[in-house]
Structure 1
Amino acid sequence: MIKRKLRRHIRRSIFRFAGLMMPVVGAMVSAYALGVEPRKVDYNERDMVLPRLKPGFDGYRIIQISDLHFDSWIAAKTMLPQIIERINEYNADLIVVTGDFVSSYPENHIEHLRKNLSMLKAKDGVLAVMGNHDHWYNVGILREMLQDAGLKELRNEVFSIQRDDDYLHIAGIEDHWKGLSDVDAIVEQIDDEHCAILLAHEPDYADISSPTGRFDLQLSGHSHGGQINLPFTGAPWLPRYGEKYPAGHYRIGNMQLYTNRGLGTTMLPIRFNCPPEVSIFTLRSPKVAKATQFPIPHGTK
């Protein structure tokens, strides 16, 4: 009898303690998601073995940033200069920005964006494509800003880099959400012999770009990895055209895809188990590199 009462008392005490702790734990998780993780940038370095990459481009380094959302990224004005300083330390051959510079009205932030983006330095320049948010508001003023900052926007066109007799094609697709993408126009501009990389804001565009057989790699953003990545269930919400391939490295057919988690945030200024990301790719030619290309299941990470 005494033991039964004692067990009942212990159970009640445990439930009471758990009830008291739940708000505390919730507050701690919220504080972390709001104030800590959005500032913990992951500098993700990886080798990418690309079948058509010529030996002259083995070791070529590309840095990708995406989804700045400068106006809704709480720490943008303090963090972005630090991130750019760190990026420049990598001495990249090329820097690419895969869209969504802002969330809404760019006019209030254009000077800060111009000042920061103009500090990006790479041997072959800085390329960019626009995202859906950029097109929803004043895309014209953003285009002027990019030009002033020294960035080249690719609008269904190709930027080709030459080393001796070898080429590396960097293509940029216009925003698919707005119905402006034209992969056929890009395919007409590139040959089948040399490596081609596609910059496309929305990652699910890979289901359109891969069947062309012309691209070795697609670099995308858009989904932010979901911003919130819950254990066992994953992201509670993902945007249109960012649902199938929300974050990380995939293979779709013979093409590889990498989806960057972005730097900024939208809707809620929080991140949980999904830190902001700068992607640093070292390209490897299979004719030169001994680097192992880890097998990636089709359509998955």
Structure 2
Amino acid sequence: MKSSEWLIKPSTSNFQTLGLCLLLVIIFGLSYTRFIEPNWIEINSLQLTLPHLSPEFNGYRIVQISDLHRDSNWMSQKRFRNTINLVNQQKPDLVVITGDLVTKNSPSVIPTLKSDLDKFASKDKTVAILGNHDHMNDSKAIIQAIETSSTVNLNNAVYTLHRGSAMLHIAGVDDVWLGKPRLDLVMQQLPNEGAAILLAHEPDFADISAATKRFDLQLSGHCHGGQVRLPVITQFFLPPFCQKYDSGRYQVGNMIQYTNRGLGMTSINLRFAARPEIIVFTLVAPNRS
């Protein structure tokens, strides 16, 4: 018997079965990344001990959202308002929005921003900064929508919360990528006493903010957690200022940095291994006894 007779020749049916399985995997993968994961919002809870937090703010709840990318396509007004309802269900003391309220070249949605922002129901305030996509629209109109709503514009500004004589400072810088941050102005406005939290759309700004040794926490967005997160490959496609702190919690010097994966999408409306995120922070005062 010839040795070649021992070889099993693949049949046409085997190739057809393999092709069908591959097609089903592709269809399922595209369906998951397009229709399931982008709508599968993860609500994360995290307790953070801030070294300078006064006991009066112990248990204070901050809900952070980021990168809404409101547009006329995927992030419709209906979807945005459903997200707002999810935020309100977390019973926030403060809502923070860390940029990219609107996706680039979407001027038609800006007139709806004010009414949407007014639907957040925090005990204290809603505060927001701009991101790079906001500056790719009519940023003045977006700022006007923020400032005429019940939301505080924190672009290069500080907002101070009071509990008696105790203070908690929420500061923000304008977009880093487009050269808008004025940390110097923020530092001029920031009192010396009380815990301070900085909002900065691009997370890698943490290296600069941590160097001031004034901030207990920086909250950011911008990276979308990679949006389509694949081993090794994802790192090459992360946007500028997203190379070091692209998702989740980090320790940068004495400062905690957290990068939210955001709620919207850009370029392609797909997500994989980077679910949209709402994060609930419960602040804890250190035990000084």
**Fold-level similarity (TM above 0.5):** yes
Name the SS for the 2:189 alignment partner.
Answer: coil
Are 1:144 and 2:161 matched, yes or no? no
Q: Which residue of 2 is the match for residue 170 of structure 1? A: 170
- Say which is worse superposed, 104-113 or 179-188, in terms of deviation: 104-113
Quick check: 2:235–2:243 contact (8 Å CA) kept in 1? no
- Say which is worse superposed, 260-269 or 9-18, in terms of deviation: 9-18
Quick check: 1:48–1:284 contact (8 Å CA) kept in 2? yes
Q: Cα distance, 1:204 vs. partner?
A: 0.6
Name the SS for the 2:97 alignment partner.
Answer: strand
d(CA) in 2 for partners of 1:145 and 1:203?
25
Task: Deviation per CA, 1:76-113: give whole Å up to 9, x if none.
Answer: 33322122112112221100101111122343112333
Q: Which residue of 1 is the match for residue 217 of structure 2? A: 217
Q: Which residue of 2 is the match for residue 41 of structure 1? A: 41
* Change beyond 3 A, Cα 1:3–1:112: farther
Q: Cα distance, 1:192 vs. partner?
A: 4.0
Q: Cα distance, 1:190 vs. partner?
A: 2.3
Which amino acid is the alignment partner of residue 264 of structure 1? G
Task: Deviation per CA, 1:204-241: give whole Å up to 9, x if none.
Answer: 10011011100000000011111001146545511111
* Change beyond 3 A, Cα 1:276–1:72: farther
Task: Deviation per CA, 1:10-63: give whole Å up to 9, x if none.
Answer: 799767643442232112101111111110111111111111111111100001
d(CA) in 1 for partners of 2:115 and 2:6?
68
d(CA) in 2 for partners of 1:6 and 1:188?
82
d(CA) in 1 for partners of 2:102 and 2:275?
19
Give the % identical residues: 40
* Change beyond 3 A, Cα 1:13–1:142: same
Q: Which residue of 2 is the match for residue 257 of structure 1? A: 257
Q: Which residue of 1 is the match for residue 29 of structure 2? A: 29
Q: Which residue of 1 is the match for residue 118 of structure 2? A: 118
Task: Deviation per CA, 1:226-259: give whole Å up to 9, x if none.
Answer: 1001146545511111121111000111111000
Name the SS for the 2:127 alignment partner.
Answer: strand
Which amino acid is the alignment partner of residue 180 of structure 2? L
Name the SS for the 2:246 alignment partner.
Answer: coil
Quick check: 1:72–1:265 contact (8 Å CA) kept in 2? no
Which amino acid is the alignment partner of residue 169 of structure 1? H
What root-mean-square deviation, in Å, do the aligned CA atoms of Structure 1 and Structure 2 show? Answer: 2.4
d(CA) in 1 for partners of 2:217 and 2:61?
14
Equivalences for residues 183-202 of structure 1 within 5 A: 183-202=183-202
Q: Which residue of 2 is the match for residue 294 of structure 1? A: none
d(CA) in 1 for partners of 2:58 and 2:3?
72
d(CA) in 2 for partners of 1:12 and 1:106?
51
d(CA) in 2 for partners of 1:244 and 1:11?
50
Quick check: 1:64–1:97 contact (8 Å CA) kept in 2? yes
Q: Which residue of 1 is the match for residue 55 of structure 2? A: 55
d(CA) in 2 for partners of 1:21 and 1:267?
29
* Change beyond 3 A, Cα 1:6–1:240: same
Which amino acid is the alignment partner of residue 96 of structure 2? V
Quick check: 2:72–2:109 contact (8 Å CA) kept in 1? no
Quick check: 1:73–1:266 contact (8 Å CA) kept in 2? no
Q: Cα distance, 1:285 vs. partner?
A: 0.8
Quick check: 1:225–1:235 contact (8 Å CA) kept in 2? no
Are 1:279 and 2:275 matched, yes or no? no
Q: Which residue of 2 is the match for residue 99 of structure 1? A: 99
* Change beyond 3 A, Cα 1:56–1:137: same
* Change beyond 3 A, Cα 1:5–1:109: farther
Quick check: 1:130–1:175 contact (8 Å CA) kept in 2? yes
Q: Which runs of 5+ in 1 are unaligned?
A: 290-301
Q: Which residue of 1 is the match for residue 135 of structure 2? A: 135
- Say which is worse superposed, 127-136 or 1-10, in terms of deviation: 1-10
Say how many residue pairs are matched: 289
Name the SS for the 2:8 alignment partner.
Answer: helix
Name the SS for the 2:283 alignment partner.
Answer: strand
* Change beyond 3 A, Cα 1:164–1:16: same
Name the SS for the 1:109 alignment partner.
Answer: helix
* Change beyond 3 A, Cα 1:10–1:173: same
